[in-house]
Amino acid sequence: MITSVATDRAGAIEEQYFKGDAATLRNTRSVTKTITGTLVGIAIDRGELPGVGARVAGFLDVPPDKEALTIEQLLTMTSLLECNDWNPVSPGNEENMYPLEDWIGFALGLPVRAERSFSYCTAGVTLLSAVLEAATGEPVPEYARRVLFEPLGIPEARWPFSPLGLAQTGGGLELRTVDLLALGVLYRDGGRGIVSEAWIDQSIRPHTRIDETHEYGYLWWLQSHAGIDSYAMSGAGGSRVAVFGELDAVVVVTAENFGRADAHDITDALLRDVIGRLR
């Protein structure tokens, strides 16, 4: 089901709630990944990370076959890790990671592929949690609170953790609908001094193609709806934070259509309807 819809059109906000209310924390699932990308950008802006070309080996102990693994490869899902959440028999499928204690060890222990290409990999984004902690000297939840959530007026964020206490930057962060809206508006409005315009521009341009209708930025999905280009955070079950620059609009959909093959199609249809009303 769709649990909430919120829009910000040039500062005019509308909210609708179909399950819970404005105070309800929503499980964002993989929307969390894009928020992680924002934290990486802030760390680069602040000089805590040297740039997207930096190697993971500069922050973590990695095996020899992972020496060339870069932050950018994790942001674009184009690493050589044998990791595909869309393939149930992939060694790196996220469901193989969760029962284990050491999620970083799982990711760094994966086999490597012969060629780089897009492959949807939660374990790779989970690696960014450990990289961020090593670079900033803070647990990710504390860093996110200080440099992103508090400046945006977001009062509470509930992170999931690995058995070893590492924040899961690949999914499951819980935020209110209006907080998700604020994160989308942050990008629409050029970063508001919290994240740089340069990082935003770099993040929302295409770095790889997924299929005929989707390209991928730095953990952002790039897609056209009803002829209007968008960049979006996307989570399992159909949750979405979509930015439509041409309309000066941000649309948030939270959904719990888990296990449905048409979950994202349902959200896409809703977005087309909202766009029609915003035009």
Predicted confidence band of residue 279 (pLDDT cuts 50, 70, 90):
confident
List pLDDT tens digits, range 233-264. 999 999 999 999 999 999 999 999 999 999 99
pTM: 0.98
Distances (CA, A) of 263 to 79, 138, 170, 235, 237: 27, 36, 19, 10, 5
Helix (H, G, I), strand (E, B) or coil at 220: coil
Q: Where are the domains of the chain?
A: 2-278
Overall average pLDDT of the 210-234 stretch: 96
What is the CATH code for 2-278?
3.40.710.10
Q: How do residues 90-137 score in pLDDT, each as one tens digit?
A: 999 999 999 999 999 999 999 999 999 999 999 999 999 999 999 999
178: pLDDT strictly greater than 90: yes
DSSP assignment of 103-138 equals HHHHHHTS-B-SS------HHHHHHHHHHHHHHHSS
Tokens 């299929």, residue located: 211
Mean of the per-residue pLDDT values of the chain: 97
Instruction: State residue 25's pLDDT score.
Output: 98
